Structure 1
């Protein structure tokens, strides 16, 4: 009996700690939604009717793609970048400019697990497996852009689908039904910040709101990620072990679920790298799980779009475009036998090559995420 009491007390303390952490997560999600509202409000205040003119430089889709890729590679969080994009769209950034940006965010986010794979560099075979598992995400996202960006430029089909989906939830600029309470709940915080910068003028005040929103997004996503890793990563690993090897549908679903739980595709895909490096799972087993992570990461932008200060319809539209793009990418690339394993073959080849010459891995990371995008941006700015 003497031993059981401390054990019960310890379990009760652990449960209380978990509840406190979940309350902190809820509070930080609230801060995230407020932050997106601040960005939209600030962008609208600073630019007024000149918003579209400000983004004329990015009317070239390749420029938008590069901006999304480099920004996400530097920040190492597609959730942060897409949340910022949602806020900008709510404030007046044209949706057509934002579409390539969210595509670029998909590419940029895969730098994290590619860097994680470098931890296996000392063991040749282990590094080959780990680097292949990391870069299969890169190659899938690159192939998805190659297929869907030209189609979007020619037909605007993603914009149309996003608009149709957003129309289900939005009437005019007011959210329907259950979404109203979110905007109402965040309004006091957004209004407080707006009143705080009134003396700075429209441009200065707008820029201050945008900067405040970006800082709050960084902080909220950073600390939400840390808390969720503590609360969920152990369970995420269990789920991953249980799902991988049970077939592609199970793998995709589990990858989606784990990413929703930890709010980070970078975390989900990085969890797989050591498993691949150790040889516990093959690349073809891990591949579907990676695809699910692409879908699961869309939850942050959808959450952020439920309460914005500005064009709610456009904010929801770009969030649904992000989701539609990732779902169609999985359905089309994995569903077509000829395309299905192209990312796997490319990743296997690169993994073997990099294991033979470690400088290839460094050159790959620098060129794909920074050098080539920078060159493309330079060229497009001269056109």
Structure 2
């Protein structure tokens, strides 16, 4: 039995009627949107007096990158972190600080499939293939940051491109997209209920309490949304995967995007590939385009989160969600689209996997070093 089949077998939602799973999914989406509103409002209130000092701390783009990367590595969900970033922008976090955070979230999410590859550590040949498949995602996301972070610092291309898209979506040359919003109307009562419980507290504690409640809501909602979506969709997703692999780059990227939208997690999508490569069903090279599509598909969660925002920063919240989409799409077009760059991620991941298969401790050192020690060193150096 494959790891995918095992996950389906042990998924507690499999025993629920399908109509109940869909109903729970809608409730969890409602909870996620409520959480975004709570975090945004709480962040705005909590940082009102200390905003300048806080933003100055994170104004270095490398620190912003590290914050996004480490938070995602710890939570193991870029969808969760990107939704939190959207909420923080709604609460006043400047776009220029949020953009590197989004880039860091892309690197941080790669840790999940790398950890999954350790499940094959007992068989040297399987482990080499699985680690190769897992770290293609790592190397691609690292290269994307190396290309686009300097461009963003120098020219602000993602910020400008996403701002233009927001103007186009508003249809009237720049009116705030946060006018009448049915999502806000639906989530309003629960948000107001939490506000009533915290509003008597001093501003910093009031805002912090709302942020804490929002974080609990958003982590729970996205985690359980992923489980329910897998119980509903992974059978179809597996069929899509099998039908798309080996049929060319466009088919692989498109299928990776669609499957990730269905299961609401790029970590899940890319992790599904690792056992298939480890057991020799497919090759690491054949899943490369599919992995890139997963990067694009994961952006949908942040866009959904942004739609729940109204008020003066609504358009900025939508803008940072679109930054995530633009960044991942442009990274695919530039790195995969240009032949001289295309082979670097699979080639480097293959060379690394050969060394890790020989000395397994290198695999653990790689995970700890890339996802934790290097970010910590950057923070200490730049602080």
In structure 2, do the counterparts of structure 1 residues 16 and 45 end up closer, same or farther at CA, with 3 Å as the change threshold? same
Match of 2:106 in 1: 106
**1:251-262 aligned within 5 A:** 251-262=252-263
Gapped regions of structure 1 (runs ≥ 5):
1-13
Distance 2:161 2:327 in 1: 10
Distance 2:281 2:16 in 1: 36
Match of 1:66 in 2: 66
**Bigger helix fraction:** 1
Aligned pair 1:380/2:372, yes or no? no
**1:124-135 aligned within 5 A:** 124-135=124-135
Contact 1:40 1:309 in 2 (8 A): no
Distance 2:16 2:138 in 1: 40
SS of residue in 2 equivalent to 1:238: helix
Based on CA coordinates, which of the two structures has the bigger radius of gyration? 1
Distance 2:188 2:168 in 1: 23
Distance 2:206 2:15 in 1: 44
1:56 offset after TM fit, Å?
Answer: 0.7
Contact 1:41 1:309 in 2 (8 A): no
**1:259-298 aligned within 5 A:** 259-298=260-299
**1:143-292 aligned within 5 A:** 143-170=143-170, 171-175=174-178, 180-292=181-293
Equivalent residues, number:
366
Deviations along 1:148-175, one digit per CA (max 9) or x if unpaired, are 0000000001001111112233454443
Give me the CA root mean square deviation. Answer: 1.5
Match of 1:138 in 2: 138
Match of 1:77 in 2: 77
Contact 2:178 2:310 in 1 (8 A): no
SS of residue in 1 equivalent to 2:202: helix
Runs of 4+ in structure 1 displaced over 2 angstroms?
47-53, 167-176
Match of 2:356 in 1: 354
Distance 1:70 1:95 in 2: 19
Distance 1:294 1:328 in 2: 11
SS of residue in 2 equivalent to 1:246: coil
Distance 1:144 1:46 in 2: 33
In structure 2, do the counterparts of structure 1 residues 137 and 185 end up closer, same or farther at CA, with 3 Å as the change threshold? same
Deviations along 1:348-367, one digit per CA (max 9) or x if unpaired, are 10111110110111110000
Aligned pair 1:325/2:330, yes or no? no
Contact 1:39 1:209 in 2 (8 A): yes
Contact 1:169 1:175 in 2 (8 A): no
Distance 1:366 1:271 in 2: 22
SS of residue in 2 equivalent to 1:93: coil
Distance 1:334 1:215 in 2: 37
Deviations along 1:156-207, one digit per CA (max 9) or x if unpaired, are 010011111122334544436xx72112222222222222211112221111
Contact 1:38 1:309 in 2 (8 A): no
Distance 1:379 1:173 in 2: 40
1:282 offset after TM fit, Å?
Answer: 1.3
SS of residue in 2 equivalent to 1:307: coil
1:19 offset after TM fit, Å?
Answer: 1.1
Distance 1:116 1:352 in 2: 17
User: Which is further off, 116-125 or 304-313?
Assistant: 304-313
Distance 1:61 1:278 in 2: 40
Contact 2:78 2:105 in 1 (8 A): yes
1:329 offset after TM fit, Å?
Answer: 0.2
Gapped regions of structure 2 (runs ≥ 5):
1-13
SS of residue in 1 equivalent to 2:122: coil
Distance 2:50 2:181 in 1: 29
Distance 1:169 1:307 in 2: 15
Contact 2:39 2:84 in 1 (8 A): yes
Match of 2:4 in 1: none
Distance 1:93 1:83 in 2: 13
Distance 1:309 1:42 in 2: 15
Distance 2:188 2:316 in 1: 19
